Structure 1
């Protein structure tokens, strides 16, 4: 908190005086990304906005202020702002009014309702085609992908996430005395401050390290955990783990609303695309199933993927009465 004894006529702190349009946009983005449903177009728009260095820095500051709302819960200024917000009587906070409250409190007041609502929940889920960006109470951030479900369980000694299904990218706030653990039925991943992805689909858990270091322990094989390095992945299935090299940037492109395929078997690519579709693609062309495909596609853009696959592999797209699209072998190409 800034000094609350500052008189109304005193010089304003530099941070308040130099507030930019990017700061206001960053606050707006935190509010937008904290809603229950986020479209893929919104994710892509946010990614483009944050590519500008000034915007990225403004968003970092906004995240820090957002994470402080829990610490400021007992502050009388915050409580007054919450009462005003809950009564739906918004009032404009000008530069002169900020004075005693300070920039941190003013930002927290504008976001406090959403922040406290998030902290009061422990289970998060997405439907098919939906993504959510969650700011946790400790400042860590989770990008929850389509058709995913997780539970947050924080204690004084541990920060634990239980990923029941789907996948998520975790950006963990550094705290060596309070480990951050992500668990599935197959494995648990322990990190201190790092960025990594965990995916639980079908009978397999896959862990990809983007930066930092993590320890991966198998639930069915007690023993020393496995330390992963950046651009490595561990695939755990039926009590066995396989570590291999991976391009983490490509593998996590879904966080920007894109699916990137590099020499990916067509059947595998179709399965990945289908995770974002309510009306999926049916691959009914055995000869083409193992043929690799390369390309970048927008998540949920069935038409573009079907068109590309039909053209590349000499397939025909048949639209079924229930809305699904079937890809079959043919000499004639037809867009789905």
Structure 2
């Protein structure tokens, strides 16, 4: 059978011709689109070979899954080369320029890139992107535009940011990505099994379809606590250990884990809702490294509380404190830990080991 082409099999040049008419019918302005659709119908009727070519071209175009809108946006990008060609085609009295541009698109699709780079390009284009940051003593509530369309009452994911937090949110057609630089964020994720949400931190990636959980990153260990649902935590390999693979941990309601230096601690059962108690005006620490606890407290203070040694930062603190009562915390610290409190002239406070 080598070298033999079955009768009626669509040839690539005919497919490209059909694609040119399909693309023009989908993308050309005004009457030109109607004329292209009529021309496609007439061209299709000329022979069985033409009909087969149209069928194959239509399958390639439909395989893009709605990419026409994405291509339009791509063509209309300011300064884009394709936009310039399209503009020239509309303004020019000669149809040759528009035909040349459309044939270029058809050739691109006809090369098979529709099943490769074309589709890859489509899925890699973000639907939306936004950055959210909070200042000292500032909290922020964000609702994402990621609710499933057609589900009545289905709202988007809700994010609560604690003070001094920073994230970037990028929504794609097949996934949702939150790049968390620092701080504390509580996630109430809108379920969408076809578009999981990933929270990317400096030490782990958290994958979720629909659940409520909190991520804390104040510079020390990263803490993840799940209120309900299920999240999967992929721990990043330890820096400097090339070729190693990080652990994957499944967390369920009431589970909490700390991650540091490429290693996850033991999964513990805890009051995970307490991780986001700052939403109600409380800071709750449960065996938290003092350095992390101070970072959380300082996110509400214009003058920080600082320690003079890593040994102090490593001390563990448990307790419940008002976010606006750091003075009460400083009064309590010497009774809880072997520390003394030393106010400084600039308004900051130093913690010294006893």
Q: TM-score, normalised by structure 1?
A: 0.55
Residue of structure 2 equivalent to 1:319: 343
Q: Flag the 1:126–1:156 CA change in 2: closer, same or farther, 3 A.
A: same
Q: Secondary structure at the match of 2:216?
A: strand
Query: Are 2:287 and 1:279 aligned?
Result: no
Q: Secondary structure at the match of 1:252?
A: helix
Q: Flag the 1:265–1:327 CA change in 2: closer, same or farther, 3 A.
A: same
Among 130, 138, 146, which residue is 1:130 paired with?
138
Query: Are 2:314 and 1:297 aligned?
Result: no
Query: Are 2:248 and 1:225 aligned?
Result: yes
CA distance in 2, matches of 1:224, 1:286: 27
Superposed displacement of residue 288, structure 1: 8.3
Contact 1:142-1:171 at 8 Å conserved across structures: yes
Q: Flag the 1:239–1:327 CA change in 2: closer, same or farther, 3 A.
A: closer
Q: Secondary structure at the match of 1:150?
A: strand
Superposed displacement of residue 208, structure 1: 1.3
CA distance in 2, matches of 1:262, 1:203: 15
Residue of structure 2 equivalent to 1:252: 276
Residue of structure 2 equivalent to 1:239: 262
Q: Secondary structure at the match of 2:303?
A: coil
Which consecutive unaligned segments of at least 5 residues does structure 1 have? 1-118, 331-336
Superposed displacement of residue 253, structure 1: 1.5
Query: Are 2:189 and 1:162 aligned?
Result: no
Which structure's relative contact order is higher, taking Cα pairs within 8 Å and 6+ residues apart?
Answer: 1
CA distance in 2, matches of 1:291, 1:199: 18
Residue correspondences, number:
212
Q: How does 1:1-336 map to 2 (within 5 A)?
A: 122-138=130-146, 139-202=156-219, 204-220=221-237, 222=245, 225-245=248-268, 246-262=270-286, 269-283=293-307, 294-310=318-334, 317-327=341-351
Superposed displacement of residue 212, structure 1: 0.3
Contact 1:310-1:327 at 8 Å conserved across structures: no
Stretch deviating more after TM superposition (181-190 or 233-242): 233-242
Q: Secondary structure at the match of 2:258?
A: strand
Q: Secondary structure at the match of 1:243?
A: coil
Q: Flag the 1:316–1:127 CA change in 2: closer, same or farther, 3 A.
A: same
Q: Larger Cα Rg: Structure 1 or Structure 2?
A: 2
Which consecutive unaligned segments of at least 5 residues does structure 2 have? 1-126, 147-155, 238-243
Superposed displacement of residue 215, structure 1: 0.9
Q: Secondary structure at the match of 1:321?
A: coil
